[in-house]
Amino acid sequence: MKALVRLGVILGIAGSILSADLPGVGNLQAVALPQEQVVKKLQEVPVFTLTNAKGEFVIISRNNQGKSISQVGFFISKQDAQKFLDNRLKKENPQLATTLQVRPLSLADYYKIVLEGKKKSDSTIYTLMPMQQQVDSAVSLLNQSGQKGDQFNGIPLFVPKFKKENSYLTIPLAQGNERYIPFFFEKEQAVALLDQFKKAVPGEGANTEIQVVDLFGVMEALNSSNDPMINKIVLYPSRESISFIQSLVKKSPAPNRPASAPAPKK
């Protein structure tokens, strides 16, 4: 939770300076990221699940062709997690539902839970549920690009890019000199970035598009790819999640900060 609060400050700064520029990340050197760096990137995205008063996950058992399957659900959207509690669990088991709450974790927590489950040969399935509207947007974009997109099995991410160069739009973060590649959980966020770029560089507008990728494929790439751009990927939570993070920041006591230095004179 503390990591999410710190992220709120970062996202607040990043959101205020979000802008597009010509592509190119320079001659960067990188290999598959160390485990702690992968976790750090995933730590910046909240996910939501259901727990009891002790903080224990809600395990749902179901039969599949005579075989019992145990499943724990995680959600990209807090609203989806709440709807699952209100619309399904309260109807199926109202007594249990009264003891449950929606609990925020990070994508890094989910990632570590899945890894630990594999190490222990845990038969429980830890399912991460996408936002249905964004799945529909992903399918639509895939169809428009001529790909078969009747369905999208995974968590879609939307990446603004250039068609001819096959390179990505980059943005500055936290007033630094380096530029990063934003991967958005919502199509609308990617569209907004492209719109800013088209206004700044009208002649390049026709050369841009939004690529759809799968979150799990990105996570795998972070672990295994030697592509030099991997360490420049930034995962941008949905607008709903950003609002949630900002609400945590407002509740958190403000840290003591030194007075700002005066602005340099021209």
What pLDDT digit, counting tens, does each position of 13-66 carry? 333 322 222 222 222 233 445 677 788 889 889 999 999 888 888 888 877 777
Output the six-digit token pair for 77.
Answer: 């959207």
- C-beta separation of 127 from 72 below 8 A: yes
Say if residue 78's pLDDT is above 80: yes
Say if residue 258's pLDDT is above 60: no
* 54 located within any domain: no
Residue-number span of the structural domain to which 207 is assigned: 19-41+131-238
Enter the pTM of the model: 0.79
**Which is higher by pLDDT, 2 or 243?**
243
Average pLDDT over residues 74-80: 96
What is the structure's pLDDT at 25? 25
Report the amino acid identity of residue 222. L
Output the six-digit token pair for 240.
Answer: 């709903």
With a CB cutoff of 8 Å and minimum separation 6, the contacts of 228 are 25, 27, 28, 29, 30
**Which is higher by pLDDT, 121 or 69?**
69
Cα–Cα dist 215/262, whole Å: 43
Q: From 173, 258, 255, 249, select the one nearest 2 (Cα to Cα).
A: 249
* 254 located within any domain: no
What is the structure's pLDDT at 240? 93
What is the structure's pLDDT at 254? 55
Total structural domains within the chain: 1
Reported confidence tier of residue 3, pLDDT bands at 50, 70, 90: very low
Q: From 17, 15, 33, select the one nearest 237 (Cα to Cα).
A: 15
* 142 located within any domain: yes
What is the structure's pLDDT at 11? 34
**Which is higher by pLDDT, 42 or 264?**
42
* 140 located within any domain: yes
pLDDT tens digits, 211-250? 999 999 998 888 887 777 788 899 999 999 999 888 887 7
Say if residue 92's pLDDT is above 80: yes
* 76 located within any domain: no
- C-beta separation of 184 from 194 below 8 A: no
Output the six-digit token pair for 3.
Answer: 């990591």
- C-beta separation of 160 from 169 below 8 A: yes
What is the structure's pLDDT at 21? 29
Mean pLDDT of the chain: 78
Say if residue 4's pLDDT is above 50: no
* 59 located within any domain: no
What is the structure's pLDDT at 231? 83
Average pLDDT over residues 101-112: 92
* 218 located within any domain: yes
* 216 located within any domain: yes
Reported confidence tier of residue 264, pLDDT bands at 50, 70, 90: very low
pLDDT tens digits, 146-205? 777 677 889 999 999 998 878 888 888 766 678 889 999 999 999 999 999 999 888 888
With a CB cutoff of 8 Å and minimum separation 6, the contacts of 82 are 102
What is the structure's pLDDT at 19? 28
